[in-house]
Structure 1
Amino acid sequence: MNATQLDRESLHASLRDPLLGSLGFLNEVMARYPDAISFAPGAPHPEFLADLDIQRYTERFLDHLRDEGRTPDQARRLLYEYGPGRGLINGIVGEALNRDHGIDADPNAIVITVGAQEGMLLVLRVLFRSAADLLAVANPCFVGMTGAARLLDVERVAVGETAAGIDLDALATACREARREGRRLRACYVAPDFSNPGGARMPLATRLELLALAEREDFFVLEDSAYAFTAPYGSQLPPLKALDAVGRVIHIGTFAKVCSPGARVGYVVADQSVGDDGRMLADEIAAMKTMVTVNTSPLCQAVVAGMLLQHGRSLIELSRRKAERYQRNLDHLIGALDSCLGDVRSRRVDWNRPYGGFFVRMCLPVSADADLLETSARRYGVLWTPMAQFYLDGGGDRQLRLSCSYLDIDQIDAGVRRLAEFLKEEVGV
């Protein structure tokens, strides 16, 4: 047995940040109460993974490679060997983004990443050069982005979120305050469509105002598009990247929700010019990636590409059935809350009413902390996510997040009944 004992203070300070332990804590609680109905995980519904034919989609991608002129042996070797750091399926992803979302993405401007999480980490590492550079995030914010920034010692600036997304007046103030301190707001992270966890959606006019502010104040917009596909049919809005005429937006996407989270495939669109020799920001990100993960698994890329090819190279067609399921679940969750708790809404408890995404945010008259979650799980058999972990300024302590994506309709009904009993008995609602 190795008797060497490390002093925790000698390790990186981020390891002592409660943020890094928040997801592990939820997984631990779920493991201890396996019979509880869990509104905690923002994961795809299991029905979409039950009949996932990996072999079929891999063969579909191999057919595509052979159609492009490769021999069967060359096509298979591409799947089994180290691949290019930039990715194998960039052209197919670029076609889908152009076809469905109006993003003119040259394959060379795309980097295929190990999930969106690696994309966030790489983009931050490439963009943020010194301690003078600041990252603005909506408050509350997805812990994947704030956690990546914490690992890299990138200082985060919390900007309030409204029903229309990040508060642009407060963001402009943050830019001015940074300049007064001799620093700069280098980038702003936003999820314009049904943000996690707030559920906000940015109207078209606000999107255009954000892009104008980014150009005026000289910062980049890091756009996370994970939940855009859940918008009700006919209500889709163009991504910020599709509206970006001057190269201010770096677009980060994932196939976790529309294909499979286990594939761990995401992408970054970064077409900004670097220097005067024709290089793009995507080139720098790809170079950085070779020192982190070398390349994204070619086998996993093949599955994702095969799914896209099978659905006409369309993200919309690939995600249509999933979007309908999540819209139905979200509507049902809000309706169940109205039915079980509508008589006390606004007086002692309240919740927002997003019309897309996976999440509903609820406000309580007491602290929604780990102890309260433990009581909810043990006595009432229902789990949820405390919101405090999503805030940078100590807020959110009286809020919880309910996710509806992973559950069936009858589970949502039973879970809301248990939640209502818990709130009435333990919270005094």
Structure 2
Amino acid sequence: MTTVELSRDSLHASVTDPVASSMNFLNEVANRYPDAISLAAGRPYEGFYRTADITRYLDIYTRHLEDSGHGEEQVRRSLMQYGPSNGQLQPLVSRLLRTDEDIDVPDQAIAITAGCQEAMAIVLRGLFADPADVLLVSEPCYVGVTGAARLIGVPVVGVPEAAGGLDPADVTRVARAVRASGRNPRVLYLVPDFANPSGACLDVHQRRELLRVAAEEDLLVLEDNAYGLFGADDRPRPRLKSLDTDQRVIYLGSFAKSCFPGARVGFLIADQTVVGADGTRRLLAEELATVKSMLSLNTSPIAQGVIGGLLIESDCSLRRANTSKIEFYRRNLRALKDALERHLGTWSDARWNAPAGGFFMVVDIPMTADEKLLEISASEYGVLWTPMSFFYLGDGGRNSIRLSCSALSAEEIDEGVRRLAELVRDHRASLL
């Protein structure tokens, strides 16, 4: 019997996506060198997690259902049966948004998703119907959204990010260039607060200008807020959605950093009105429920119960629930800045940015920061980092690396940067 063999060229382009392959390489290197200090991992610090919290949160949510008048059969069905495609946490998430973010939307405008990654895929699949539609992204860009776009065949065009974040004038320029080429710039994706990978954060003026440009160029804005809680100070930074007066912003939220990633719960806000051919009017989130149902039927009710318990315990304030995490990540960001100054501060060819919060910093080094150098870094120096080239659509970021400070202690950060400095100095000397 002859076994089936498939040509790799016959598979969808997303299978052979070079960005995904690069990230797989990073994971492979991490697995091969488990003792290396990882300044690459952007995951939360595991010291905050206790397995007992899972059942505790679930018990809190179960009591909430009972106190809301649910009988035993209704509680059992809510947690253990298939549920509504758009989820059951909308009232709690709506209250959270009003409490923490000054965002006021109806419950029906919220969909609970299997992580923020699914929310991205749902929105992109629902909005991109015409082959001429183009997704604009702030570049460098989080690989999750560019990967999701490739998966469903959405063309992506980058808007170069400046040192201070996305310049609204550049959005205008790129949108008009795309339109002049005969295509339609449909949606702009960005992370306004402490972006992954750059750490950039928009000031209030930029946010208002960006919304003005979006209206002028008829763009929808996809705002991803994974890191907004974790500013280096308490300065107010309004979300684009809170400034959105004409329902142009679709908002993506996640509980991965504020609770724990294993819950796999995120959400989207899509309060735009969709008008049918017969004149019927529904919210975009309600229309997108069909896409959600085809991807995963519904988000795990048990996982929703865990997140619901966290929200109830914190009186629907993630800021309150994350007080200790916020301070921890602030200390770690300061520790990373201090370590760079201590170990690379006298190295005139190395430069780094100074984000106002979040998990990441970018370091420019006087050499090509590619997979070959990363392999040497892991095997000979015991430190991992992420090449910034992974986050560009083209050839950008070749001499830059992303460092993450979220998953380590301050002592591990310092030692990791010391090893990185040794790599940079040794490799630079070998090129002279």
Q: Please list the CA deviations of residues 226-259 of structure 1 after superposition, one character each: whole Å capped at 9, or x if unmatched.
A: 0000013421311000000001000001000000
Residue type of the partner of 1:393? G
Deviates more, 1:318-327 or 1:218-227: 318-327
Match of 1:410 in 2: 411
Match of 1:298 in 2: 301
**8 Å contact 2:167–2:206 — kept in the other structure?**
no
- 1:237-386 map, 5 Å: 237-275=237-275, 276-344=279-347, 347-386=348-387
Consecutive unaligned residues of structure 2, counting only runs of 5 or more, are: none
Counterpart Cα distance in 2 of 1:130 and 1:22 = 30
**8 Å contact 1:327–1:355 — kept in the other structure?**
no
- Are 1:170 and 2:170 matched, yes or no? yes
Match of 1:213 in 2: 213
Cα shift at 1:23? 2.3
Counterpart Cα distance in 2 of 1:3 and 1:303 = 45
- C-alpha change, 1:50 and 1:70, in structure 2 (3 Å) is closer
**8 Å contact 2:23–2:390 — kept in the other structure?**
no
Residue type of the partner of 2:355? P
Residue type of the partner of 2:343? C
SS at match of 2:195: coil
Residue type of the partner of 1:323? I
Cα shift at 1:223? 0.1
Residue type of the partner of 1:386? P
- 1:164-203 map, 5 Å: 164-203=164-203
Counterpart Cα distance in 2 of 1:121 and 1:18 = 19
Counterpart Cα distance in 1 of 2:259 and 2:54 = 11
Match of 1:130 in 2: 130
Counterpart Cα distance in 2 of 1:427 and 1:309 = 54
Counterpart Cα distance in 1 of 2:244 and 2:334 = 32
- Percentage identity across aligned positions? 47
- 1:33-44 map, 5 Å: 33-44=33-44
**8 Å contact 1:119–1:252 — kept in the other structure?**
yes
Consecutive unaligned residues of structure 1, counting only runs of 5 or more, are: none
Q: Please list the CA deviations of residues 22-58 of structure 1 after superposition, one character each: whole Å capped at 9, or x if unmatched.
A: 2221111111111110101100001111355111100
**8 Å contact 2:232–2:358 — kept in the other structure?**
no
Cα shift at 1:173? 1.1
Q: Please list the CA deviations of residues 340-371 of structure 1 after superposition, one character each: whole Å capped at 9, or x if unmatched.
A: 11111xx3111111120100101111111111
Residue type of the partner of 2:214? A
Deviates more, 1:155-164 or 1:394-403: 155-164
Match of 1:54 in 2: 54
Counterpart Cα distance in 2 of 1:321 and 1:33 = 31
Under a length normalisation based on structure 1, what TM-score does the superposition of the two structures give? 0.97
Cα shift at 1:184? 1.5
Counterpart Cα distance in 2 of 1:169 and 1:355 = 23
Moved over 6 A (4+): none
Q: Please list the CA deviations of residues 282-322 of structure 1 after superposition, one character each: whole Å capped at 9, or x if unmatched.
A: 01211110011000000001001101111111111122211
